[in-house]
Amino acid sequence: MNVLSLLKKEVLWSRHRLVTLLLLLLVLPAFFAYTTVAFQTVVPEDSPIAIVPENENVSENGVEIITGGASLFSDPEVYQDKSEAMTALRRESVYAVLEVPPGILNESTANATFSLYVDGSVVPFGEPSKAIRGIMGFYLNENLPAGVSVERVVVGNDSTLSEYLLPVFLMGLLMLFAFTYVPYNLAREADVLERLLVEASLEEVIFTKVAYFAGLMIFPILSFTAVATYLGYSVALLRPAAVAVFLLTFAYLTAISVSIMILTDFSTFGRFVNVAALFAAITFSSLVYPVGFFSPLRREVARLIPLHYSMIVTRSLTLKDVSVGLFADWLVVLVGFTAATALLVKLSIVRYERTR
């Protein structure tokens, strides 16, 4: 065959796979290009922080003035109770708590000290919080009659960047395994699937595979723990609640990737879609940086993704001295979402059996 004949063969091949090629060459590239809107700024101008009065002597006008000033470099939310604000800080619903002292509108007040509380385990917000303290101190002195100062207070464990990244990298490894190796394994077994279905149902085959691979995830957790122990990191990766959330997250991610493979008839295209889903999850879930660090759009999108909450819970349980009950409502949602992905697998199997 000459070159023209070979080229004609490729064109004919493409005609039979026109929809797939359009998705791969036009739709998915456009999607990845559009994700750049998630990176609108390089400074944390939209991270949520809490504004809370120090006591009942703080006027509402004073709180409103401080909230307005804080909106220049954050997304402030007023809390009336300090304990609620500190709970939100531990849950990473906010990334700083600014406590407003009384007397800030009185010229007779010699010095009013604001307290800016930050969680030491949220390392990426450490340096920005120092900048916020400086900006806030300048703004307050320029716009309030009282003399003011801002004190930065670190609460909880003061983690290093390496310690902070350890559970993040572990979560990334579980995601990589769920969206790449499991689909690869399914694609390899597609040719012998008919023989397997003679003695077992497709539900049994899929359930066994997901359960088996979930069990295997104990080994990377143990490996990360061994390295952390060797390096002297204060990271409790083997905390039972943290391990349970890691495995729960792997289960629902794997259920999603398996559903994609079944719906695409275990094809190469399905594996490509899973890789795209992996990159989308990494981009939009705010696994490393606090929400609002880059843009308000990315903050709102991240808060719609269960993976974002899985990361907060596992990172908190491994780095902070908090109880699992602090995240009880989120865990209920994660369990419910996992059940929904299991239902998605079931529906995908029903479709597959009706069309094959």
Q: What is the pLDDT of residue 4?
A: 66
Neighbours of 345 (CB within 10 A): 20
Do β-strands 97-100 and 112-119 pair in parallel, antiparallel, or remain unpaired? antiparallel
Q: What is the pTM of this model?
A: 0.84
SS (H, E, C) 287-339: CCCCCCCCCHHHHHHHCCCHHHHHHHHHHHHHHCCCCHHHHHHHHHHHHHHHH
Q: What is the pLDDT of residue 290?
A: 83
Q: How many Å apart are CA 308 and CA 168, to the nearest integer?
A: 11
Residues 85, 79 contacting (CB under 8 angstroms) = yes
Residue partners of 93: CB distance under 8 A and separation at least 6 = 48
Q: How many Å apart are CA 167 and CA 172, to the nearest integer?
A: 8
Q: What is the pLDDT of residue 96?
A: 92
What residues of the chain score a pLDDT lower than 50? 36, 38-43
Q: How many Å apart are CA 101 and CA 147, to the nearest integer?
A: 12
Q: What is the pLDDT of residue 124?
A: 85
Q: What is the pLDDT of residue 11?
A: 65
Per-domain boundaries in the chain: 48-155, 161-355
Tokens of 110: 């010699």
Sheet order of strands, 97-100 included:
75-78, 48-53, 97-100, 112-119, 148-155
Topology of domain 48-155 in CATH is: Rossmann fold (3.40.50)
Tokens of 144: 């309030």
